[in-house]
Structure 1
């Protein structure tokens, strides 16, 4: 029987101000950003802001497509976006197992897509392979890609505040700086 699914939007918080973050999950700067999002929501207040993650594949991160499909697949399971969060967190905590040295060499070059999925399941605790195997999942992957392209996103992480790209925001900023940008 085919996996029946609905992709849970990767949105946390419910306030009027919207911070959209475009990220490639294996990019070190995106991981740095991802690791600050909980603190941002805590400092800004979930009643004041929403954070939406858009997955932005970058071809030099050679497992990008597999990892992004796995995250979106996780969002279709019971637990939705929380499963996706767990997979993103697992990638960040074990990043070296999902990247190539200098984007082109190293032990991971011999890793198969099935081994990438096994690692993601092991580290996240999310059984995502059945959902990953859903052919129609590409519809949601394309939605993320299309939204990025429509907004002129080229690199990760990129930040949009209330629909406008904010080139002044970066992964190296203190969380308090993000809060000021959105709430002051």
Structure 2
């Protein structure tokens, strides 16, 4: 498991950072199946890995940004998630859930007539609604284009890191789940409490 320091606090969305087992979940904010599995992560997995949960201290969950470039807005929504991870890591998962619930607003057709600036402005409004208006200004600063013609924004390097990580591990579809570094093909976005409980019973060895 690897995670660059600037993203460690935000992208570890459940469990303790030093937990021996690692569940990595590659999700795209505009993928319906990613949205579906996010509900199970929130309702089933996070309680199990939280303080006092059955697997407290044994498993951590890492959110892996999986940009799917055939969706025009995918880059922008993942920039937004990374920006929140930077300015308010404790609220990253809260914002991610809100974005998954509103993902239809960022699908291809709804965003087809919007400029990148307008999409980022809409995301800033979601930040204000979700984690507080006081965070929106910081968020906007991170997503403001640099003065150089092709320099990107303040979180572009973090976005590159997440994309390179996916590429070097051969991740193509979302969601994809890794258990201790290996792809767990059996995991499905349709899994509920029963399937996840059976999976963890087999996999957790500490």
TM-score, scaled to structure 2: 0.76
Q: 2:112 aligns with which of 100, 106, 109?
A: 109
Between 40-49 and 142-151, the greater mean CA deviation after superposition = 40-49
Q: Which residue of 2 aligns with 1:94?
A: 102
Superposed CA offset, 1:120-159 (max 9, x none): 2223324111122373422211111111111110110000
| Contact 1:90-1:120 at 8 Å conserved across structures | no
Partner of 1:122: 125
CA contact (8 A) 1:56 1:148 kept: yes
Q: RMSD between aligned alpha carbons?
A: 2.1
Structure 1 ranges of 4+ moved more than 4 A: none
Aligned residues: 173
Structure 1: unaligned runs, 5 residues or longer = 101-105
Asked if the contact 2:23–2:180 (Cα under 8 Å) also holds between the matched residues in 1, the reply is yes
> Which runs of structure 2 are paired with 1:19-168 in the superposition (5 Å)?
19-39=23-43, 40-44=45-49, 45=53, 46-77=56-87, 79-80=88-89, 82-100=90-108, 106-125=109-128, 126-127=135-136, 128-133=139-144, 135-168=153-186
Question: What's the TM-score, normalizing by structure 1?
Answer: 0.84
Report the Cα distance in structure 2 between the residues aligned to 1:36 and 1:124, rounded to whole angstroms: 23
Whether 1:181 and 2:205 are equivalent positions in the alignment is no
Moved more, 166-175 or 120-129: 120-129
Residue number in structure 2 paired with 1:103: none
Structure 2: gaps of 5 or more residues: 129-134, 147-152
Give yes or no for contact 1:76–1:131 (8 Å, CA) kept in 2: no
**Counterpart-to-counterpart distance in 2, 1:83 and 1:120:** 15
Q: Partners in 2 of 1:160 and 1:6 — Cα distance?
A: 22
Q: Answer with 1 or 2: which has the greater Rg.
A: 2
